[in-house]
Amino acid sequence: MAKTPFYGVTPNQREKRDRLPADSLLRVAGPAIQAWWQHAYLDQPGAVLPRRFADEARASLPGLAGGADPPPPEEVFEALQIQRLRLHHDQQVPEWTR
């Protein structure tokens, strides 16, 4: 009898687990990711979500400089690309390409 997959986890998600998106996929998705960050975090009224976005981005992306607060999505995305490259190169984290 075949094993039942984990609830809510598709085969595609299992293939992506513990992998990085390939650089080409990340570049293609970049404008949509940045637009989502802008809409979901930075365009929100009040200071809580933009501040949290900035704090979490700076904590998880060492390449993100001080600069504007909150940093523009373009700078966060650039730092994300640098971090992806570092993980792939230094720790040999495999990529997914589809």
pLDDT tens track for 29-63: 999 999 999 999 999 888 899 999 999 999 999 87
Residue 77, in any domain of the structure: yes
Residue 28, in any domain of the structure: yes
User: Rounded distance, CA 96 to CA 47, Å?
Assistant: 36
Residue 8, in any domain of the structure: no
CA distance between the termini of the chain:
29
pLDDT band at 98 (very low <50, low <70, confident <90, very high): confident
Total-model pTM: 0.79
Residue 4, in any domain of the structure: no
- Find out whether the peptide bond into 71 is cis, omega within 30 degrees of 0: no
Instruction: Say if residue 1's pLDDT is above 60.
Output: no
Instruction: Say if residue 22's pLDDT is above 80.
Output: yes
pLDDT at residue 30 in the model? 97
pLDDT tens track for 5-16: 556 667 666 666
Identify the domain containing residue 47 by its residue range.
20-96
The residues, ordered by sequence, that sit 6+ positions from 87 with a Cβ below 8 Å of its Cβ are 20, 93
Residue 32, in any domain of the structure: yes
Mean pLDDT of the chain: 85
Question: In the numeric block, which tokens belong to residue 54?
Answer: 């900035």
Residue 11, in any domain of the structure: no
Contact 38, 55 (CB under 8 A): no
Residue 12, in any domain of the structure: no
- Our count of domains for the chain comes to 1
Question: In the numeric block, which tokens belong to residue 49?
Answer: 């979500």
Most confident of 16-25, 53-62, 66-75: 53-62
